[in-house]
Amino acid sequence: MFQVRVEDNFAAAHYLVNYHGKCENLHGHNYRVRVFAEGEKLDNGGMLLDFGILKNTLKKVLDKIDHSLLNENVNYKEPEPSAELISFHIYKSLMAELPDAPICRVEVFETEKNMAAYIPD
């Protein structure tokens, strides 16, 4: 099995509507995002997925939510801007751009120590 990973970051604000605690208040994060692709077959160039294509597509996806209030961003379609749903949003957005990409995991770090991931079935 082969695996590749790319990483990027974005900054955004959010508040959690259905949560009662500090995070229900408006606040922001400098998010770190890691995207993993996995598969058994390599292309003729010996690659699972070109790093450049995956990096550029991730940047395109993140640019649509960077420096925004996620709760009001028209590009963000999930019911809450939790780290879990942000990772799901990024996965869906990547798959819309790269439908054949073998993306197997999207991690979203709110802090250096706190991360949520979306792993498709």
State the catalytic residues: 23, 67, 110
CA quadruple 75, 103, 100, 85: dihedral sign: negative
What are phi and psi for residue 22, nearest 5 degrees?
Answer: -55, -35
Which one, of 6, 28, 31, 29, lies nearest residue 105 by Cα? Answer: 6
